[in-house]
Structure 1
Amino acid sequence: MTYEETLEWIHHRLKFGSRPGLIRVETLLERIGNPHVGLPIVHIGGTNGKGSTVAFLRGLLEAQGLKVGTFTSPFITAFNERMSINQHPISNEMLVALVEQVKPVVEEMDKELEIAGITEFELITVLMFLYFKEQEVDVALVEVGLGGLLDSTNVIVEPLATAITTIGFDHMDILGNSLEAIATQKAGIIKSAAPAIVGQLPEEAQAVMERTAQIKNSPLYVLGKDYTYNELGNNIFEFTYKTHQYVLKQPLMGHHQFHNAAVALMTYLTIASKLEVSVEKEAIQEGFHQVTWPGRMEIMSNNPLIVIDGAHNEPAVRTLVDNIRQDFSNKQVTILFAAINTKDISSMLEMLEEVVEERLHVTTFDYPTAVPMTAYVDKFPISQRHVDWKLAFTQLKKELSPDDVLLVTGSLYFISQVRAYITEDEE
């Protein structure tokens, strides 16, 4: 198979949709030798902040010389980013080789009614486990796809630790309409005896975590209770856990990143002895120096100031609005927004309008579930609606003064396209 044929075959599995449940992924893993068993894994879930927490933890572990596999979604530049080792995406050749290994098995499964129709994400999950096993990574950081309990990554039996970053309303059609129901799904990744690290959660969600950890006999570390952080300005923060106290600098933009850095650092401390890595301040600071995370409050240009951020659901937009108020209070902010139709667009737009008013511009983009322009006709004047986002971006960029900010936000799939366009334009 060529690389293009391989990608086409993987994406073809999308026709089976997203179907919670583990029977298909467990069967495929079993038939190729259970490559996930014995892998040293940290399993990371939550509504938002998963990717940033993975990035922080990856930096901390890589600085110790470890071979670190990361499984994240969606990708920002290229599909191969979804499974990377030490920030190097899987090669085209290796991806082809892995698919050629599993393709005959998948085709046999498709003949059996009960296990037919493995989905794209289930397939990618299996390929990831196989890749990390073959490459003998020292640790794999695996991001949950959707929810937790029934997510295809939840075949992990004995993780080094689990981390749950935030809990908010998203994917309610699948996860439930209450924070308690959503938290129950997210808490499904907590495993017996493995430490569970959670961020600052709503009270109802926190109660679910405590209850689940108690049932599973899992040591629970709660932000604000067992470990804390305080912002000190200039991207510096103080982190405290028992006798550990650090004053550190983290490189990512946005006040929510201190929260994610704290969750990552607490996770690092809980697995440090198992992985035989240093907990000295110098080692930790070196790890944070290495952290990058594209598409999240990422500065693409300083003159004029252009920032992209994948605020793709209500909790993420709320965080973005807080960041605008804190970081850009002395600047005029213009927003270009596009989203997919599985989200609550109205509430996201209302929050954005609160901070930028008539400087909120909406558009659409090339993606099967992108919100079409017709959805905006009754809500926005024609001057704020743009059929072609590239023309809109170019025009809005020209109109910026030295004290202005252009913020491009919404779906991560949209941000991926915008980032590629800006990068190509610079070249």
Structure 2
Amino acid sequence: MLTTNTYETAVELLNQTQSNASILQAVRASGGKLNERSMPEMREYMARLGYSMADLDELNVIHVAGTKGKGSTSAFCESILRRCHVVSSGSDGGQTTTRPLKTGLYTSPHILQVRERIRLDGQPLSKAKFTKYFYELWNRFDETQDQVSEGTTSKPPYFRFLTALAFHVFKKEGVDVAIMEVGMGGAYDATNVIRKPIVCAISSLGLDHTAILGKTLPEIAWHKAGIMKAGIPCFTSPQKEDAFKVIEEQALELKASELSISLPSVVEGITLGLAGSHQKLNASLAVSACTTWIHTMQAKKLYTFDSSCIPLLASDDSKQQQQELLPQPFIDGLASTTWIGRAQEYHAAQYPNVTWFLDGAHTPESILVCTEWFEGAVKKYVDHTRTTLIFNCNSTHGRDGPELLKPIAELHLQHNNLFSRVIFTPNDPYRPNTRTLADYTNNMVDADKLLTAQYALQAAWKEFMDTAGSEAVTETFVVSSIEEAVELAAVGGSEEEKTPVLVTGSLYLVGGVLTNLGAECI
């Protein structure tokens, strides 16, 4: 019986709202038809909380969709705007004061704790505030059950609940800007209840969630482009031709005021806080979104910005160098951006003999980017004989585990059998029947106690090696938990001759490894 209002009990109650695997399968089987009810239902949930669409308009939203890089783009946006200051004059012409913008950031999934999904001024929502605001929503939904429409659940499902919670937190905390990352797709995503964002952004597109969004890039592009709104500008990273054509068509149909491509050259020569050459795409998209956001706020006379924060608006034929266009807060924000679990190099005190390379890549395109990053990062290690891979990929949402594993196998072969050990694990953080974490409960994936998926990945790796004619012996292991994978990967090496370990294929896997390494929620 849950009677105490603690963070832990709040997360346990939240987990009760997760759609189980059978419900998700019904959505997939419907060809997305069940998703068409999502916007009316989300508006109803917000109304039951006492919020109108006009209330959400006041959050001054930057709305970010995409397949690859939408989280990084959102993080860049938040880091930039947190360093921008607004100016206000005292009453009766008194002394002028400045203050930094108060930012709200909503992203998914979480890596360590669910409260990471909602950030204020760059920091995860505290356990105390998460608990307070969670129970305000939970109790309000209980009190308004007489307002539930037929076919709508009395409490919103997991992601919609968290989205409603983010809106509630941002309203109560009085943020100046809310950066909202789409969870899945765009058109039917819970975040798309936003009626009037200030600016929209679409990061690089690729194949993911194909069971729900469609099996082709144009189908997926239609969903992502669904965040565009009448009279609102939208920026996109460079896209493949067939995807961009759909985005253009949607921009016309939805009456977006502008559709522009953000080019990576805009941040050339500028230091980025996130590793990997691909981050230039995400950083330039963030620069475009933040530039438009600031100029729109200024034009609407909602804020007066310190002159040091206002970027110039370059004309299309401008040849000016970016250093002349970007104000210092933008440059500082880009350099200071951090994003846990993405192209991250990590050192843990309990394993001084290991360097952990973590990247939550889970699409064919992002795996290629991950291998490129790891290939460059691991060059500084003279001895690669103990390099280890920890891998998992859930087959949910149409993901193909062996297909994601293939680029890593190719990297392995290109570098004369780079990995001496390959470990396949489910996303369970701890050994079976030992301990659990409410933050890691996932009812949206069928439990696989026989480790069928992991043995299939092991077989796929062997097939890749056999097909390539590789005679080198690489040990492969299937373990039942991330805890066991970490312990196995940490065998060998020394403080002077560290073992490089690549962890990839799933953000949940990356989170589980960091949890076992004692990482803090930051």
TM-score w.r.t. length of structure 1:
0.88
Residue 305 (structure 1) aligns with: 355
CA drift at 1:364: 2.0
Residue type of the alignment partner of 1:409: T
Partner of 1:385: 477
- Residue 95 in structure 1 maps to residue 130 in structure 2: yes
CA contact (8 A) 1:42 1:161 kept: yes
> How many Å apart are 1:79 and its aligned residue?
1.1
The residue type equivalent to 1:339 in the other structure is C
Deviation (angstroms), 1:174:
0.7
Cα distance, 1:340 vs structure 2: 1.9
- C-alpha distance 278-413 of structure 1, shift in aligned 2 (>3 A): same
2:12 aligned partner: 8
More strand by share: 1
Matches within 5 A, 1:185-334: 185-215=223-253, 216-223=255-262, 227-229=263-265, 237-238=267-268, 247-275=269-297, 276=305, 277-279=309-311, 280-301=326-347, 304-328=354-378, 332=384, 333-334=387-388
Where do 1:404-423 residues align within 5 Å? 405-423=500-518
Q: Which has the larger radius of gyration?
A: 2
Of 28, 36, 46, which residue of structure 2 is paired with 1:29? 46
2:407 is the alignment partner of 1:351: yes
Give the count of matched residue pairs.
408
Q: Distance in 1 between matches of 2:237 and 2:68?
A: 11
Structure 1, unpaired ranges of 5+: 231-236, 239-246
The one-letter amino acid paired with 1:83 is: I
Mean CA deviation greater in 185-194 or 309-318: 309-318
- Structure 2 counterparts to residues 352-371 of structure 1, below 5 A: 352-357=408-413, 359=419, 360-366=422-428, 369=445
Q: Secondary structure at the match of 2:390?
A: strand
8 A contact 2:60–2:176 mirrored in 1: yes
Deviation at 1:424, TM superposition (A): 5.5
Deviations 1:60-116 (A, max 9, x none): 111112101000111112111111101222233333333333334434068642322
CA RMSD, 1 decimal? 2.5
Counterpart-to-counterpart distance in 1, 2:500 and 2:202: 32
Cα shift at 1:193 = 1.6
What SS does the aligned partner of 1:229 have? Answer: helix
TM-score, with normalisation over the residues of structure 2? 0.73
Secondary structure of residue in 2 paired with 1:44: strand
SS in 2 for 1:113: coil
Equivalent AA in structure 1 for residue 487 of structure 2? T
Rounded to whole Å, the distance in 1 between the matches of 2:393 and 2:485 is 15
Matched, 1:75 2:121: no
Contact residue 190 and residue 218 of structure 1 kept, 8 A: no
In the alignment, is residue 181 of structure 1 matched against residue 219 of structure 2? yes
Is the 8 Å Cα contact of residues 376 and 385 (structure 1) preserved in structure 2? no
Distance 1:397 1:7 in 2: 31
Could you tell me which residue of structure 2 aligns to residue 336 of structure 1? 390
Letter in 1 for 2:109: P
Question: How far does the alpha carbon of each residue in 1:214-260 deviate from its partner, in whole angstroms, 9 at most, with x for none?
Answer: 3313211113xxx4418xxxxxx51xxxxxxxx41112112211211
Indicate the residue corresponding to 1:244 in structure 2.
none
Gaps of 5+ in 2: 25-33, 85-99, 298-304, 312-325, 429-441, 463-473
How much identity, in percent, do the aligned residues show? 28
Q: Which has the higher mean CA deviation after the structures are superposed, 282-291 or 384-393?
A: 384-393
2:226 partner SS: helix
Question: Given residue 220 of structure 1, which amino acid in structure 2 is its aligned partner?
Answer: L
In the alignment, what sits opposite 1:38? 58
Partners in 2 of 1:408 and 1:92 — Cα distance? 28
2:57–2:197: 8 Å Cα contact kept in structure 1? no
CA distance in 2, matches of 1:415, 1:403: 20
Question: For each residue in 1:244-281, what CA deviation from the matched residue of structure 2 results, as whole angstroms up to 9, or x when unmatched?
Answer: xxx41112112211211111112112212234342243
CA–CA distance in structure 2, aligned partners of residues 314 and 105 of structure 1: 42
Contact kept? 1:47, 1:167, Cα under 8 Å: yes
Q: Look up the equivalent residue of 2:391 and give its one-letter code.
A: F
Quick check: 332-341 or 49-58, which moved more?
332-341
Moved more, 407-416 or 321-330: 321-330
C-alpha displacement at 1:326, in angstroms?
4.3
* Distance in 2 (alpha carbons) for counterparts of 1:311 and 1:102: 33
Does 1:63 find its partner at 2:83?
yes
Which residue number in structure 2 is paired with residue 373 of structure 1?
Answer: 451
> SS of the residue aligned with 2:16?
helix
1:87 corresponds to which letter in structure 2? G
Inter-partner Cα distance in structure 2 for 1:306 and 1:2: 33
* C-alpha separation in 1, matches of 2:74 and 2:115: 17
